[in-house]
Amino acid sequence: MNYTHIPFYRWRLLIERIKGLMVNIVCGFIPSKKYRILVREYFLLYRICPGHPPLPVKKRLQPINLAFGFNLGFARQTGVAIASLLANSKNRCAYNIYCVVDNSVTPELRDSLAGLVKTLDHDSSITFLEANRDFDQSLRGSWSLGVYYRLMLPALLPELDNIIYADGDVIFCRDLLELADLDMGEHLVAGVQEKPGGYINSGFLVLNLAQIRQEKTYEVWLETSRRKQYAYPDQDLLNVTCQDRILYLPIKYNFLRTYYMIYRRGLIHPYDHHDLKYNTVMLHYFGGLKPWHSTRYYLHDLWWKYARLTPFYEDMLAKLKT
Ligand SMILES: [Mn+2]
């Protein structure tokens, strides 16, 4: 199976549209927004069954490089993502975790995150990198500057050739062993397709730092971000500037929780259904319905299972109740 391009299945689209139309007609009679969302999720959501054990492998000796980028608003949630990753990588591999942060992430918070890594996996490490000021003049609408932190990685990690990046609103159900030795060739970035036409989601990426530096793509990002205002600043920018230079990853690396409804299901290759359903690597709580805001929605329980492993659990639980 070649992932250079995921074709779009029109017959699936037709079936999903009809189904969607019928569910939406029924929803028209439901006055409460909360129940409308539940009904839509029940009938239209693509369901996964994470948690199946992976094949046993010998432990990888070299740690895998992985980055996050966040400010205070996402620090604790990123802790949950890190907890899920380390819990699911036990005796398989370790990570060098790099966090691009600003001074809103206090020394106490950094200590808590470092303590979390130390308790869950002795062999993994965490390093905090201060965000640079390069994107300060970039256009970003109402988005926080934090969305640009992932794009700073080529500048902040000059010694690395490749880096995996993940958002903070995710849960890992598997380790990232398969991506550790990814050969990106001349592709600038690897990601999961979100829309027909090859548009990727920027919540999970592999960045070819060496190639990006060689072609001065970082400078292109800076220049473009100051000149053009996008609806999704970092994501649209990546898609525009890396067009035709994207390596497509299987959907299991970035399962968008509320996304595989209606036409997006047309993006799942029939042969990929089993793998996606049972071997999901990463689950992305993308969009507005975050599990730390509400426990009403699909797969929130999985997020809270890992939240329990962090020192932020009581805090987040208290916030949820109020
Ligand atoms: Mn996200």
CATH label of the domain that carries residue 160: 3.90.550.10
Domain count, the chain: 1
For strand 282-284 and strand 246-248, is the pairing parallel, antiparallel, or unpaired? unpaired
What is the per-residue pLDDT across 106-153, written as a single tens digit (0 to 9) for each? 999 999 999 999 999 999 999 999 999 999 999 999 999 999 999 999
Instruction: Label residue 287 left, alpha or beta by phi (over 0 means left) and psi (-120 to 50 means alpha).
Output: left
8 is a domain residue: no
187 is a domain residue: yes
- Please give the distance, rounded to the nearest whole angstrom, from the Cα atom of residue 146 to the centre of ligand 1: 12
- Please give the distance, rounded to the nearest whole angstrom, from the Cα atom of residue 159 to the centre of ligand 1: 27
The Cα–Cα gap between 78 and 288 comes to: 17
52 is a domain residue: no
What is the per-residue pLDDT across 249-270, written as a single tens digit (0 to 9) for each? 988 999 987 656 655 666 777 7
**Torsions phi, psi for 189 (to 5 deg):** -150, 150
- Please give the distance, rounded to the nearest whole angstrom, from the Cα atom of residue 145 to the centre of ligand 1: 14
The pLDDT of residue 5 is: 55
Q: Which residues pair with 66 in a beta bridge?
A: 97, 164
Domain that holds residue 124: 64-257+272-321
- Please give the distance, rounded to the nearest whole angstrom, from the Cα atom of residue 186 to the centre of ligand 1: 26
Q: Are 193 and 199 in contact (CB under 8 A)?
A: yes
- Please give the distance, rounded to the nearest whole angstrom, from the Cα atom of residue 25 to the centre of ligand 1: 30
Reference 191, options 236, 257, 136; nearest CA is 236
26 is a domain residue: no
The Cα–Cα gap between 291 and 287 comes to: 11
- Please give the distance, rounded to the nearest whole angstrom, from the Cα atom of residue 183 to the centre of ligand 1: 25
137 is a domain residue: yes
Alpha-helix runs per DSSP H in 165-299: 177-180, 209-214, 217-227, 233-241, 273-278
pLDDT band at 46 (very low <50, low <70, confident <90, very high): confident
176 is a domain residue: yes
Reference 240, options 200, 271, 272; nearest CA is 200
48 is a domain residue: no
What is the per-residue pLDDT across 259-302, written as a single tens digit (0 to 9) for each? 566 556 667 777 777 888 899 999 999 887 899 998 888 889 99
Most confident of 20-24, 72-76, 194-198: 72-76
| b/e code 251-270 from CB counts within 10 Å (16+ = b) | bbbbbbbbbbbbbbbbbbee
- Please give the distance, rounded to the nearest whole angstrom, from the Cα atom of residue 26 to the centre of ligand 1: 30
Percent of the chain whose predicted confidence (pLDDT) is above 90: 72
- Please give the distance, rounded to the nearest whole angstrom, from the Cα atom of residue 203 to the centre of ligand 1: 5
The pLDDT of residue 8 is: 62
What is the per-residue pLDDT across 89-104, written as a single tens digit (0 to 9) for each? 999 999 999 999 999 9
28 is a domain residue: no
pLDDT band at 9 (very low <50, low <70, confident <90, very high): low
Q: Are 125 and 97 in contact (CB under 8 A)?
A: yes
Q: What does the DSSP 8-state code read for residue 195? A: E
Residue with tokens 């942060």: 101
